[in-house]
Structures are given as C-alpha cells and as structure tokens.
Amino acid sequence: MNPFSIYVHIPFCNLKCNYCDFYVVIKHDKKNPLLYSLLREIDYFSEIYQDKGYLQTIYFGGGTPSIVEPSYLAQIINKLTKIFKHPEDIEITIESNPNTIDEAKLKEFLAIGINRLSIGVQSFNDDDLKYLTRDHDRNTALQSIEAAARAGFENINIDLMFSIPGQTLDDWKENLRIAVQLPIKHISAYSLTLEPGTSLYYQSKRGLIYLPSIEQDADMYEFTMDFLPENGFVQYEVSNFSKPGYESIHNLNYWYRINYLGFGPSSHSLWDNRRWHNYRNISKYIDTVNQNRNAIKDEEFLNPTEIYNERIYLGLRSRGINLKQLEEEFNINLLKHEERFFNELLKNGFCIIENDMLRLTKKGYLLVDEICEQLML
C-alpha cells in the first residue's frame, strides 16, 4: 500500500499578523461546530480512501492549532488512526505560537500522540517581532522552546524569517547563532514574501515600506546555506534544514508529490491527478459539510503535462529528480531534451547528477525558479 498524508486546518488565531495570507479566524465562537464538521468530513472521505493507502503523517496547521485544547485534537487523531491503517511511529505535527504553549499543555499534546512540534518564532529580535505584529517577544520564544524540551518533545522545529524590512545581515546571523544553540532538530528558514491581500503588501504598494534588496536577500540566504550545515543542520529542501533523521516526513511527501487529504476550511487535497480545495470561510465550510458531508469548492484533474511540471518544480526544490523514473513515467529524457541548458548548468556548478539523480547545488537553489521555468513543458 502507498503512503499518504493528512492536513487538518485549525484556523483560530489570537490575531492576524501583517504578513499572513493564510485563512485565519480571530473569533473562536465556532470552535465546537468546526470540530463536529471536521469529524463529519473525515467520515465522508474515509468511505472513499480507507483502503487505498496507509496514513503516514498528520499535520495540524492554521491558524494556530495549539490554541485549542488537547482533548479537541485528540478526537480528530483518534478518529483518523482508528479509520486508516498507519505505522506505530506515525508522524503527527502541530504548529504553535510561543505564547500559546506551556510545559503542562505540551505534555498533554505528547500524551495524545503528537510527536513533532513546530513553533512560529520568526525572529529572536524584538524589533523584528514588533514589525511583524507578532504577539510574543524574544524571551517568550526562548522559554517556549525550553518548555517543549522539558516536556519531552524531541522533534522540535522553529520557523525563522529573513529579509524583514530593516533587518541587516548581522541581525540574521545573530538569529541563526541563537537557533543552533537551542534544543531543536529542524529549522525552516524562509524569506519574507509580500502576499497580495496582506497589510504589508499594501504598505509596499503605497511606498511605505521597502524590503531588503535582491542582493541583500541572496546574502542572507547564502549565509544560511553555509552556516546551518556547518552546525549540523542538513539542507534537504530550499527552505528546510534538519539534523540527520529529523526531516519533516509530511513536507517531504508534498515534495515527492505523494497523495494527501486536507480537512477544514481552505484546506487543499491531492489524490493522483485530482486536486481540490475547500471553502475559505468557516461558516460556509460548516454549512456545506452539514449539507453535503464535504466542503469542496473547486476541483480539477491534472493532465500529464501539468503533473510533469509539478515533478520538475517539486523535485528541484527538494532532494532532486530521479531521471530514470521521470523517463519511465513520461517518456522524456530530460538531459537530452534540454542538453544545451544542462551543459551550462553543470559547467557553472548549478547542479550535479549522481546515480540518475539530478540535484541543484547551493548556487542552483539561488536560481531555482528560473531553472524550473526553463525545464517545464
């Protein structure tokens, strides 16, 4: 049986940060109706997919799922693990913010089966945190990480952000120096992107803020790719670094284009060539699930060209492309198809080819989008 993953969107937050474009809900009055709808939606899809694979990972994202009580999440975990076949060491991740967790609550999360914790730190610089309208400070972030370790979490990720307006390379270096001294196994380090619809995006359009230059952004990213591996964190995806053996299985499944089911408002799903997503509104989601047992807003069926392009994009952003498998699946010899382009990439050190695996180098990661665009059909 093939593996698959499940994502559960818990949209509740205490506030919406100025850079966030995820679907979040500040009011929590629909918490119980949402749980009922989530369980009902799971029942619907279990009838279709129960015997079509084994459940390898569960990921609670948001929003801030650590806001809700452990007993709330336990009902979802218990239903999923009762319905779907799964390994004993199934990876179950929860996203959290530093001011929503303490040692007692974290112990409860462990007790219900959650074994991977992702903490949205973003920065250890209080000026950065204020700029990003985060509702925690440096000390709270540090205390939450220490509390997680004391509670018994071995697999801890922190999110860190660079290219924040006003942030210098030295500021970013200090963030990373602090991070590698902490009891964590994984770091997601990513550049701030101004997404349409966010407060920062509109401020930028009005000329009120300016991101660091492309050159400054590249300097921060290059330092990250050098510094973290020097300190035991291996880069296995464009923005993800982990201690050996602590890669996020859930994220890798996305990069390998393995099937996944999404539950909750705004969640997305992929199964073979079918992709669909739910309504991005909690009331509409709840009402539609109550009526139809699912909340699908739109769906599409991908053609071979679209699947091929996804394999290229996802593979080059992570551990690479298996050229032999790609040719078997699509009858395309990528190296011959783009021979002149690959000669240039290899000559200039942007990629390597070993044992039929095409991987980008650190130099290649800096130009990953441009390289993918050239290779897509």
Per-residue H/E/C for 169-197:
HHHHHHHHHHHCCCCCCEEEEEECCCCCC
Number of helices and strands in the chain (H, E) = 16, 15
pLDDT one-digit tens code per residue, 71-120: 999 999 999 999 999 999 999 999 999 999 999 999 999 999 999 999 99
Q: What is the pLDDT of residue 10?
A: 98
Q: Which residues in the chain show pLDDT less than 70?
A: none
CATH topology of domain 3-255: TIM Barrel (3.20.20)
pLDDT one-digit tens code per residue, 330-368: 999 999 989 999 999 999 999 999 999 999 999 999 999
CA-nearest of 342, 273, 262, 261 to 310 is: 273
Would you say 67 and 13 are in contact if contact means Cβ atoms under 8 Å apart? yes
CA-nearest of 366, 273, 363, 372 to 321 is: 372
Q: What is the pLDDT of residue 211?
A: 87
The letter for the amino acid at 272 is: D
Q: Is 230 exposed, middle or buried (0-12, 13-18, 19+ CB in 10 A)?
A: exposed
Q: What is the pLDDT of residue 182?
A: 98
CA-nearest of 248, 275, 247 to 260 is: 275
CA-nearest of 353, 322, 319, 358 to 236 is: 319
CA-nearest of 195, 124, 192, 188 to 163 is: 192
Annotated domain spans of the chain: 3-255, 304-375
Q: Assess whether the previous peptide bond of 166 is cis (omega < 30° from 0).
A: no
Q: What is the pLDDT of residue 357?
A: 95
Q: Is 105 exposed, middle or buried (0-12, 13-18, 19+ CB in 10 A)?
A: middle
DSSP class of residue 89 equals: T
Q: What is the pLDDT of residue 205?
A: 83
CA angle 95, 16, 101 (to 5 degrees): 35
CA-nearest of 5, 153, 2 to 80 is: 5
Q: What is the pLDDT of residue 210?
A: 84
CA-nearest of 359, 346, 334, 63 to 238 is: 359
Q: What is the pLDDT of residue 256?
A: 94
pTM, 2 dp: 0.96
- What tokens does 115 get? 């074994």
**CATH hierarchy code of domain 304-375:** 1.10.10.920
Number of Cβ atoms within 10 Å of the Cβ of 104: 10
Cα separation, 344 vs 159, whole angstroms: 35
